[in-house]
Structure 1
Amino acid sequence: MTTVHDIPVNTLAGESTSLGAYRGQAVLVVNVASKCGLTPQYAGLERLQKSYADQGFTVVGVPCNQFAGQEPGSAEEIQTFCSTTYGVSFPMLEKVDVNGAGRHPLYTELTKAADADGAAGDVQWNFEKFLLNGDGEVVARIRPRTEPEAPEVVAAIEGLLKS
């Protein structure tokens, strides 16, 4: 059975990898954008990364330009923006499509998961979050307007962490 751990992805630097590098860890996969009203969520994502990285957790950012062209930059521009504006230390993947005919295979799998209201399908907007357990299964789908540090998100992450 194929899991999200087995799907090839590229880092923002263009190197081949997969989420299998995080097998056994909790992972929060987030489609991100630099010019969105929700872009300040980077700060909360980075705080989660810093708070829980040593307990078997990572955020993985996935730039996407499908929502009102809010991630137009090159890989280098995205990397510079994230590091200088928000001090992002979590891994970033290459810019991909999360919806439509060109949807990346990673998002083909992730979008099968339903949110708390039972709705699956297309990503709604930038900063939609998918929380994966150590086996690569989606255990929570969090819609874009929910802040990364919302109590329900933190509780879900903490429920997956190594004690």
Structure 2
Amino acid sequence: MTMRPIIFTAIATMGFGTALAAGRPIQEFWQPQHVRQVTIDQPAARSFGQGRCSHMVLDEKRLRFFLAHARAGTPERYDQEMLVDDCNAEGRVELTDGRRFKVSIDNWTGWGSISDDRGTQFLYCRNCTDILEPGFGFQPPGRRGSGGRD
């Protein structure tokens, strides 16, 4: 019967750690204001697994929509929700103050990231699932999907 307290302690510790990670404040180094230029070097999406991505593309409208609607998320939550075969595309943005960022967008999950030489910020956009699909609807928040998270 000594296993029962050990298992309970292990489960409680994991749950507490996850709650702390999910509840900790996220320091944002990225703010979407003042975008001067958007560059899409390679518009074709790709997969790091076996995903079929040849019909998916990233363009300026999709990248700007993602940045306008995405909110900061934790690396732990990104790790929990990422899909190995998801299709991904990248672009770059330059702000009016001269700072430059690389933007990476995952198609199926609504997750992405923005990074510069200081670090990476994970971003989540509930309305951006399937954003690289040809028929993506560009619906504003609250109009697409039924999930409760943003």
TM-score, normalised via structure 2 length? 0.30
* Higher RCO, Cα 8 Å, sep 6+: 1
Please identify which structure carries the higher strand content.
2
Q: Greater CA radius of gyration, 1 or 2?
A: 2
